[in-house]
Amino acid sequence: MMKKTLWKNPVRPLAIFLLTASLSALAQAPVNPVLRPPKGARVAIVVFEDLQCPDCRRAAPLVEEASKTYKIPVVRHDFPLPFHSWSWDAAILARYFDTHSKALGNEFRDYIFANQLEVTPQNLRGYAEKFAAEHKVDLPFVVDPDGKLAALINADKQLGKDINIQHTPTLYVVSNKRKGKPFVEVVDRSQLYALIDTMLKE
Is the confidence at residue 54, as pLDDT, over 70? Answer: yes
The pLDDT value recorded for residue 12 is 54
The terminus-to-terminus CA distance of the chain in angstroms comes to 60
pLDDT classification of 177: cutoffs 50, 70, 90: confident
The pLDDT value recorded for residue 29 is 59
Secondary structure of 94-125 as H, E, C letters = HHHHHCCCHHHHHHHHHHHHHCCCCCCCCCHH
Helical (H) or strand (E) element with 49: strand 43-49
The pLDDT value recorded for residue 136 is 98
Cα–Cα distance measured from residue 49 to residue 79, given in angstroms and rounded to the nearest whole number: 5
Cα–Cα distance measured from residue 47 to residue 79, given in angstroms and rounded to the nearest whole number: 9
Q: What is the pTM of this model?
A: 0.82
The pLDDT value recorded for residue 94 is 98
Q: Which domains does the chain have, with CATH numbers?
A: 33-201 (3.40.30.10)
The pLDDT value recorded for residue 16 is 46
User: Which strands sit side by side in the sheet containing 74-78, from one edge to the other?
Assistant: 74-78, 43-49, 170-175, 183-185
Checking DSSP bridges between strand 43-49 and strand 170-175, what pairing results, if any? Answer: antiparallel
Please state the rounded mean pLDDT for residues 156-161: 96
- Name the percent of the chain lying above pLDDT 90: 81
The pLDDT value recorded for residue 178 is 80
pLDDT digits (tens, 9 = 90+) for 120-147: 999 999 999 999 999 999 999 999 999 9
pLDDT classification of 7: cutoffs 50, 70, 90: very low
Helical (H) or strand (E) element with 171: strand 170-175
Is the confidence at residue 19, as pLDDT, over 50? Answer: no
Instruction: Name the residue with higher pLDDT: 17 or 44.
Output: 44
pLDDT digits (tens, 9 = 90+) for 67-111: 999 999 999 999 999 999 999 999 999 999 999 999 999 999 999
The pLDDT value recorded for residue 202 is 78
Residue 152 is which amino acid?
A: L
Is the confidence at residue 32, as pLDDT, over 60? Answer: yes
The pLDDT value recorded for residue 82 is 94
Cα–Cα distance measured from residue 52 to residue 128, given in angstroms and rounded to the nearest whole number: 14
Q: What share of the chain is helix, strand, coil (3-state, %, to 5)?
A: 50, 10, 40
Secondary structure of 61-105 as H, E, C letters = HHHHHHHHHHCCCEEEEECCCCCCCCHHHHHHHHHHHHCCCHHHH
Is the confidence at residue 51, as pLDDT, over 70? Answer: yes
